[in-house]
Amino acid sequence: MKRTQILATLFAVIAVFTTSCGTGDKIGSVTVTAVGASGGIVNISGLGSTLQLHVTANYTSGKTIDETNFATYTVTPFGVDDTGTPLPAPPSTVSISKTGMITSVNPAVCVWENLGTTSTPSWFYQGDYQITATYRGFTSNPIYVPIASAADTITGQVGQCGPASSN
């Protein structure tokens, strides 16, 4: 009888420790990245162009899980377009779906400025959309997305808006 009680107690202790007792695998952070982005720069080039975001839940054990379709997204405009006009808030200029697909929509804008020449451009952007993803109370660091959905209005740029590469 006493041995049975000792074994029952031992199994109870083992059960508590094997269920982690509150120290199990937990989300440590959430990250958002742009699919296909290279060199850390993203650019949505052209009206109707898209960019897919990827949201990852990073667990304390090192495990990562794709949570793109379960995250919520916040899009905040920063800066101005090439005419100096503040960027409009979504759904103007950009929209984002529940699955993390960003689409450039009307009104089209160009946030890029060329400090070089048309033959040797030196592009920088003066406005972008800051996007964060939230999953289970964890918010990612932002990703910054400039938009080149309109022709540049600056004289001498022949309508060029931003770097030639697009994502």
Number of residues that make up the chain: 167
Interstrand relation of 143-145 and 138-139 (parallel, antiparallel or unpaired): unpaired
The angle formed by the CA atoms of residues 48, 150 and 90, to the nearest 5 degrees, is 60
More confident site: 121 or 29 = 29
147 and 104 in contact (C-beta within 8 Å)?
yes
- Evaluate if residue 45 carries a pLDDT over 60: yes
Spell out the domain ranges in the chain.
25-148
- In the prediction, which pLDDT does 115 show? 86
Of residues 52 and 42, more confidence is placed in 52
Q: What are phi and psi of 126, to 5 degrees?
A: -110, 5
Task: Answer yes or no: pTM beyond 0.75.
Answer: yes
Q: What is the pLDDT of residues 107-149, one digit of tens each?
A: 999 999 888 887 888 889 999 999 999 999 999 999 999 999 8
Lowest mean pLDDT among 14-28, 54-68, 80-94: 14-28
pLDDT at 157: 58
Residue 167: what pLDDT?
45
Using 50, 70 and 90 to split pLDDT, how confident is the model at 156? low
Token readout for 79 is 């800066």
Q: What is the pLDDT of residues 73-101, one digit of tens each?
A: 999 999 999 889 999 999 999 999 999 99
Pick 156 or 123 by higher pLDDT: 123
Domain 25-148 falls in which CATH fold? Answer: Immunoglobulin-like (2.60.40)
pLDDT at 161 (0 to 100): 83
In this predicted structure, what is the pLDDT of residue 153?
61
The tokens of 57 are what? 């839940």
